[in-house]
Amino acid sequence: MKETVIIAGFGGQGVLSMGKILAYAGVMQGMEVSWMPAYGPEMRGGTANVTVIMGDRPVSSPIAHEFDSAVILNQQSMDKFEPMVRAGGVLIYDTNGITRHPVRTDIEVWAMDATGEAARRGMTRMFNTMVLGGFLTVRPVVSSESVVEGLRRSLPERAQKSIPANEEAMRAGAEMIERVV
Amino acid sequence: MEDIKLIKGNEAVALGAIRGGCDGYFGYPITPQSEVLETLMELRPWETTGMVVLQAESEVASINMVYGGAACGKRVMTSSSSPGVSLMTEGISYLAGAELPCLIVNVQRGGPGLGTIQPSQSDYFQAVKGGGHGDYHMIVLAPASVQEMYDHVFDGFDLAFRYRVPVMMLADGIIGQMMEKVVMTRQRPRWTAEEIAEMSDSWATTGKHSGRERNVATSLELDSQVMEQRNERLQARYRQIEEREVRFEEHGMDDAEYVMVAFGSSARIASETMEMARRDGMKVGLLRPVTLWPFPSKRIAELAAAGVKGILVPELNAGQMVEDVRLAVQGGSDKKIPVWHYGRLGGMVYSPDDIYSELKRRSDECAG
């Protein structure tokens, strides 16, 4: 088993940390993982993205130009990464700010309004785990227990109290995501 | 249970330094390796192992602090990225001339000049052919994983002290910035003053005692005859290193018709190219030099002599290591086989597919 995921959006949306939580959950399950960010000026107010590869064998190339699944959180990322999902793959996107919806018909497309829901629940800082909850519903590459265990082990002491809220956000994300194509 | 961490390559260097019993790190921030210094500052090893961590005023200051620490027989290191390493090269030449052991980490970015902050492998020549002035070599290690970013710190210090030469870890922005699992080893203690005095009494400036003359750490020798002898001593040591310390890894070589030779991040990308090619029935092997100097020339010559049809050298530069591969083939084999370079420049990175397309194009040329 091997899953190559691109997570892409604006800097500040928690793109890189979402990737880290996913990768950490993989480690919890004994998987081999790599986490490769686009680093540098791309992250300053512009787009941020990270490639997470996980599987049961050591990851060969951490660099990928074709993805099994894409988590898209803004329009620029949609334009850039929609064509890079492999046929039969999955694209998940947050509808907020998307003016041009995906056009591919050879991939599964799922949508969620995590931005809106996170705001309604007063948990905008849990936006990324909400999206992760949606992603894992469609693509259960790791269990939500592993995610929680990963959070427990990777979050600093002061942030441990946010874990229940993150669990709630993941459940909300799982319930809200809907298949479009 | 194993102590496993999910960390960036740069963080692994910092942890490797602490766990490896490093005495002092001197550095100056530069993207894409700033996390080395940041991590060390956050972990505050001066409170646990007693390791010194110092942000110097510049790269030039850093490398000269390394010189001072190394002259005292301490395990000392610095890290930087391409433009910063260029600033250090004078100091590196002095370290080599004074026969001082140390570790220098270069997390390469695209050049020339200030260039870009994106990953590159364009400092290969600088690392393996000198960089600074004079006839010298560093042992150059090319980590290809976050685990090796950790392990090579230990190996680097061991090699530096075994031969009293500067050792460079030549990484790049990919390996520095990516996160992978790292199996942490147990804390290796720092050397005590007594251990250093016992081990390095013949050269380290640990304080003169009645049993010997003063130890002076200098690269200056105005008497050319003596300077020639010093050079010959260095050269003899380099031959010894070439004899004993060549390290490489290979995959799929048993039946390989085409071989890729790639180091560091390029070797990771090329290993996926190899898997793709093998799925299509193409017999491709991969040789990854772990030491760039000394270079696995003998093994490459053997492969050429054994009837490999062609060698592709993907590297993130305009064609540097490919020269050493060509030298190895021409110098060690009567068979003339083609050696091709494939690269991207200035911080652009190829995908496994890009390398595969090039490999197919070249092998088709060969067959046609």
pLDDT at A45: 64
pLDDT tens digit at each of 368 positions of chain B: 678 999 999 999 999 999 999 999 999 999 999 999 999 999 999 999 999 999 999 999 999 999 999 999 999 999 999 999 999 999 999 999 999 999 999 999 999 999 999 999 999 999 999 799 999 999 999 999 999 999 999 999 999 999 999 999 999 999 999 999 999 999 999 999 999 999 999 999 999 999 899 999 999 999 999 999 999 999 999 999 999 999 999 999 999 999 999 999 999 999 999 999 999 999 999 999 999 999 999 999 999 999 899 999 999 999 999 999 999 999 877 778 999 999 999 999 999 999 999 999 999 998 87
Shared-domain flag, residues B87 and B179: yes
Contact A138, A90 (CB under 8 A): yes
Per-residue pLDDT tens over the stretch A33-71 = 999 999 766 555 678 999 999 999 999 999 999 999 999
Q: How far is A132 from A135, CA to CA, in rounded Å?
A: 5
Cβ–Cβ gap A27/B4 under 8 Å: yes
Cβ–Cβ gap A37/B178 under 8 Å: yes
ipTM metric: 0.94
Q: How far is A16 from A7, CA to CA, in rounded Å?
A: 8
User: What residues form DSSP beta bridges with A85?
Assistant: A67
Q: What residues make up the domain containing A62?
A: 2-179
Q: What is the CATH classification number for the domain harbouring B342? A: 3.40.50.920
B203 belongs to a structural domain: no
Shared-domain flag, residues B144 and B281: no
The pLDDT of residue A91 is above 80: yes
- For helices B146-163 and B224-244, give the axis angle rounded to 10 degrees: 140
Of the three residues B129, B162, B183, the one that is the final residue of a domain is: B183
Q: In Å, how far is A64's CA from the nearest CA of chain B?
A: 6
Of the three residues B138, B160, B183, the one that is the final residue of a domain is: B183
Cβ–Cβ gap A63/B352 under 8 Å: yes
B234 belongs to a structural domain: no
Query: Which pair of tokens denotes residue B50?
Result: 């007693």
pLDDT at B1: 61
Q: How many domains does chain B have?
A: 2
Shared-domain flag, residues B270 and B156: no
Q: How far is B115 from B192, CA to CA, in rounded Å?
A: 42
Shared-domain flag, residues B265 and B352: yes
Q: At A167, is the secondary structure helix, strand, or coil?
A: helix
Shared-domain flag, residues B164 and B296: no
Q: Does B38 touch chain A (CB under 8 A)?
A: no
Contact B139, B168 (CB under 8 A): yes
B227 belongs to a structural domain: no
Closest to B7 (Cα-Cα) out of B188, B189, B175: B175
Shared-domain flag, residues B157 and B37: yes
Residue indicated by tokens 């000026």: A41
Shared-domain flag, residues B174 and B292: no
Q: What's the longest Cα–Cα distance across chain A?
A: 45
Cβ atoms within 10 Å of B193's Cβ, excluding its own: 12
B2, closest residue in chain A (CA to CA): A30
pLDDT at A43: 53
Q: For the residues A153-160, what does the mean pLDDT come to?
A: 87
Q: What is the CATH classification number for the domain harbouring A48? A: 3.40.920.10
pLDDT at A47: 82
Contact B146, B183 (CB under 8 A): no
Q: How far is B62 from B244, CA to CA, in rounded Å?
A: 31
The full DSSP string for B259-270 is: EEE--HHHHHHH
Q: What residues make up the domain containing B122?
A: 4-183
Residues of B in contact with A41 (CB under 8 A): 117
Pairing of β B24-27 and β B139-141: unpaired
Q: At A179, is the secondary structure helix, strand, or coil?
A: strand
